[in-house]
Structure 1
Amino acid sequence: MTATMTTRRRSSTAVAVLVAGTYFMELLDGTILATAAPAMGRDLGVDPAAVGVTITAYLVTLAVFIPVSGWLTDRIGSRTVFASAIALFTVASALCALSTGLVDLTIWRIVQGLGGALMVPVGRLVVLRSAGRDQLVTAIAILTWPALAAPIIAPFVGGVLVDTVGWHWIFLINLPLGVVAFVAALVLVPQERAPERVPFDWFGSVLACLGLGALVVMASLLALDRVPIVAVVVAGVVGAVCCWSAVRHFRRAAHPIMGLDAFRLETFRISHAGGSLFRLAVSAVPFVLPLLFQDAWGWSAVLAGSAVLWVFVGNLGIKPMTTPFLRWFGYRAVIIVATSVAALTVVAMAFMTEDTPFWLLAVLLVVSGAARSVGFTAYNTIAFADVEQQDMTPANTLSSTLQQTAAGFGVAVAAVVLRAAAGLGASGPYQVTFWVIAVLLAVACLEGLLMSRTAGETVRPARRVRA
């Protein structure tokens, strides 16, 4: 290996770690507020349920502004946009902590969401451009861990912070992290722009923003305890019509804000069809488990949050084996096994009761976490296996948008099923929800069975040859 290749690999890994850190901050702030809502409601003088508007505002802003990230990067430059997004996210975090009312907190959460919408997609684009096919699996594996870790540890971290130092520290912990990330971005991230300046797709952007924003609002409304039916229907119709119109526009526009050409590639299609079902399903599990433990089994919030951490143990424990699995067996086999194991563990969760031995519960959650980790890495890596460098910006923008939307709908789907099955006793609704999640994973597994055996071979880790 030449010195140049070694330097490039180290630089790519360093940037990937930096982007993963910012991704973790974004995801943590998107999920941690649910735990702190009661304390925040008391302090701000509002009903705890009203704090949900700040969560929705953050998630809607993320979804709405992600499509713009690719165009800004090509026009202004990757380092400028990425560092500015980190600064905006960090400053907004401080202002959230200083908020004295629900209105100003919501405003600063929107600003924070804008920073997150630019920060992560742009950072991931830098990693994809710098890694090269030989380092893509390693880079994506690093970028994947925040999506696995944040939803699992957020309830526990949020509970500890609220009980010990107050809800303000949910935002204040971002300040030192943001400062370090900002300095690292200026040092590590290259300043890359597109060689050709293209006009901004105003019409497509408006359609995409309205469509995605309406769908996320609909998902958030569906997750409420009392669903406003009229608002859900209006948001759903607006979202569907705008997204359909946006797709038609993107197919015809000369320079669309989101290109759809990547869907012609089998690997990209697999990552965002069955992969979206996989992401939706595994995003729902960390939402359902704490509710089961607390509402049906009567556990404390701390005990419930601690138990879910076993999923994180599985995530981390399997990480060193993810790349070897892809090297030995290939993407098709790994995706089939990961989705199958994930589905079986969720089915097993449907049979859990409060009398289930804790050690058995822990083993089940560890195995579930391992399947999540392997599946996430395989789906995320194969997405860009056949995408050429010149097409990376539109493919990354589209991928980021679809992943954000799929993850957001995971909680909504689980909440709807739980509500629909509410009359089945204490544990009945959770059992039905687990079965629905398992069916989604089974469909993803079916797509894996139908994919080509050679899919993803261009980025499959090379087998080591013994001398």
Structure 2
Amino acid sequence: MPLDPATRRALPWLVAVALFMQTLDGTILNTALPSMAHDLGESPLRMQSVVIAYMLTVALLIPASGWLADRFGTRRAFLAAIALFSLGSLLCALSPSLPLLVTARVVQGVGGALLMPVGRLAILRGFPREELLKVMTFVTLPGLLGPLIGPTLGGWLTEGASWHWVFLINLPVGLAGLIAARRYMPDLRPDAVSRFDLGGFVLFSCGLVLVTLALQGLGEHAIGRAVALWMLVAGLAAMVGYWLHAARTEHPLFSLALFRIPTFAIGIAGNLFSRLGTGAMPFLLPLFLQVGLGYSPSHAGMSLIPMAAGMMLCKLFAERVIERLGYRTVLVGNTVALGVMIAAFALVKPDTPYGLLLAMLAVFGVINSLQFTAMNTLTLGDLGPDTASGGNSLLSVVMQLSMSLGVAVAAALLSVFSGVTFNAGGDAVLGSFHATFVGVGLISVLAACIFLQLGRREGPAAPGTVVDEG
């Protein structure tokens, strides 16, 4: 369906603003967690459920986003996504307790799960193939500003007003998005809609939820250890059940044929385990700076700017590095460096020079960005036209899942270490953060074993084809 000139101009801006709103929300919240915990009467070290609820909801619904857009059309699905995201933001701001806040984050996550997949689908269907790279590059650029602005803005809003404004800031943007989407989002849908794999979706979703809640329960001690272990085993059984279901179903949620592509299989496994560390850091660092080092919310937020700047700087040379050294060398070496860099934050103490801390954050940002670029391109680069959609959806699910698991694992380690003194000063809280950084770093280092399975020069021919690192 050809787009009219006004829609062709406005649609990339509409999707770009939606991505910016989503990435801003993902980074602005972490700086506000200690203040939220204080107002809600909770421990700052037990606020991970606020983060996990959103990420897990997004991971669960991404597989259904394409089918929903096909069934109801891109315009209705996109309008519903903005409305739910905005409603969830309002409910978050009005929440008087942690359980209600978590519930509101689930509502917000439903909208977030549809927002970018439906917007990206409208771009793919509305623009010719020769224009896609240019348009998608434009769409993803505002998303890079979210991690740069989010922590600082979150700190300023929390300190200057209250944490409620971290969510209320989404409302005017959401209202403008609804007005623009009604005018400029095309109503694109196929002539025929395939049957949705409901059985596979239930098995896959149950597996994700049970495993994540088991890890979160172990970290928060909100449920008994026996119940958490039961949930963990049940979740793993559900995932095995999905694997068997997919092998016998003609059109499964995610085809097992994807895993016959070696670079995809290695890339997915590497994404899952190495992102446990990178997913934990946006949660750990703002808490560490405020609870461990005593920074104010605005000071903590501004301190994270070098990390986002390092991620943007890496884009200038990441492609050349991958082309010159190859995927195996880059991913094995960079994964080890990533784990070591995470563990190195265990050396940071209140008397550590501030300039050294900023330098460490900048270096971590560069390493983190190179990891994302190499992993995403390795995972998607060898997919063909018949596997690209399913492979991209599964990668998006794994990214969200691994980040939520990373937060759950980090919170569990913090809980385990919080009662133990690790430093001469007897500061158990600071010591628990130090031990957690070491533990998360070791998990990340072990992911290098997965990338060792690559051939010396194995990998897609064009590293620069990935433009979305989300």
TM category (shorter chain) comes to 0.7 to 0.9
What is the distance in 2 between the residues matched to 1:144 and 1:225? Answer: 40
1:35 Cα deviation (Å)?
Answer: 3.8
Contact 1:37 1:52 in 2 (8 A): no
In structure 2, the residue matched to 1:5 is none
Partner residue of 1:433?
436
1:217 maps to: 213
Residues 48 and 437 of structure 1: CA distance in aligned 2, closer, same or farther (over 3 Å)? closer
- Indicate which of 276, 279, 287 corresponds to 1:280: 276
Q: Does 1:447 align with 2:450?
A: yes
Cα deviation for residue 307 of structure 1 reads 2.5
- Equivalent in 394, 404, 407 of residue 408 of structure 1: 404
- Contact 1:30/1:58 (<8 A) preserved: no
The 3 A distance-change label for structure 1 pair 14 and 430 is same
* CA-CA distance at 1:372 after TM superposition: 0.7
Cα deviation, residue 273, structure 1: 1.1
User: Aligned AA for 2:36?
Assistant: A
CA deviation profile, 1:114-168 (whole Å, cap 9, x unmatched): 1112223333455667695996699479649858954x86554333223322233
Q: Distance in 2 between matches of 1:292 and 1:54?
A: 17
Aligned to 2:303: 307
Distance 1:139 1:347 in 2: 35
Does residue 370 of structure 1 match 2:366?
yes
TM norm structure 2: 0.80
> Per the alignment, do residues 132 and 419 of structure 1 end up closer, same or farther by CA in structure 2, a change over 3 Å counting?
farther
CA separation of 1:11 and 1:173: change in aligned 2, threshold 3 A: closer
Q: CA deviation at 1:312?
A: 1.8
The aligned amino acid for 1:443 is: L
1:17 corresponds to 2:16: yes
Q: How far apart, CA to CA, are the structure 1 residues paired with 2:337 and 2:229?
A: 36
The whole-number CA distance in structure 2 between the counterparts of 1:206 and 1:364 is: 43
How far off is 1:381 after superposition? 3.0
Alignment of 1:230-241 (within 5 A): 230-241=226-237
Q: Could you tell me how far apart the structure 1 residues matched to 2:45 and 2:282 are? A: 20
Mapped to 1, the partners of 2:220 and 2:28 lie a distance apart of: 19
Which residue matches 1:393? Answer: 389
What amino acid is aligned across from residue 193 of structure 1 in structure 2? Answer: R
Q: Match for 1:380 among 376, 379, 388?
A: 376
The one-letter amino acid paired with 2:203 is L
- 1:171 is matched with 167
- Deviation string 1:265-300 (CA, Å, 9 cap, x unpaired) is 223223321122221111222333344444444444
Once residues 27 and 292 of structure 2 are traced to their aligned partners in structure 1, the CA distance between those partners, rounded to angstroms, is 26
Contact 1:22 1:119 in 2 (8 A): no
1:408 positional shift? 0.5
Shift of 1:181: 3.7
Question: How far apart are 1:24 and its partner, in Å?
Answer: 1.1
* 2: CA distance, partners of 1:381 / 1:279: 15
Task: Identify the match of residue 118 of structure 2 among 111, 116, 122.
Answer: 122
Give the aligned partner of residue 4 of structure 2.
Answer: none
The CA distance in 1 between the partners of 2:313 and 2:462, in whole Å, is 27
Query: Letter of the aligned partner of 2:358 in structure 1?
Result: A
Give the secondary structure class of the aligned counterpart of 2:352. Answer: coil
- Contact kept, 8 Å, 2:27 with 2:150, in 1: the verdict is yes
* Bigger Cα displacement from structure 2, 15-24 vs 157-166: 15-24
1:398-450 Cα deviation digits (max 9, x unpaired): 22221111000112222223333442344544443333333333333343343
Displacement of 1:325 in angstroms is 3.7
Q: Which residue of 1 aligns with 2:3?
A: none
Distance 1:60 1:123, change over 3 A: same
**Counterpart position of 1:4:** none
Taking only aligned residues, the RMSD between alpha carbons, in angstroms, comes to: 3.9
Say yes or no: does 1:91 pair with 2:91: no
Amino acid at match of 2:444: L
Structure 1 residue corresponding to 2:265, chosen from 255, 269, 274: 269
- Which deviates more, 114-123 or 24-33? 24-33
Note the alpha carbon deviations across 1:55-75, whole angstroms, 9 max, x for none.
Answer: 554344323322211222333
Counterpart for residue 27 of structure 1 = 26
Distance in 2 between the 1:205 and 1:317 partners? 39
CA distance in 2, matches of 1:324, 1:421: 41
Q: Is the 8 A contact 2:73 2:187 kept in 1?
A: yes
Q: Which residue does the alignment assign to 2:312?
A: 316
The answer to whether the 8 A contact 1:75-1:193 is kept is: yes
2:241 maps to 1:245: yes
Write the distance in 2 (CA, Å) between the matches of 1:193 and 1:141.
24
SS at match of 1:255: coil
Match of 2:304, SS?
Answer: helix
Seen in structure 2, the aligned counterparts of structure 1 residues 32 and 194 have a Cα distance that, compared at 3 Å, is farther
Q: What is the one-letter code of the residue matched to 1:434?
A: F
Identity %: 32
2:359 is the counterpart of 1:355? no
Question: SS at 1:320's partner residue?
Answer: coil
Counterpart of 1:41? 40
> Structure 2, unaligned stretches of length 5 or more?
1-7
Distance in 2 of aligned mates of 1:39 and 1:415: 18
- Report the residue type matching 2:459 in the other structure: A
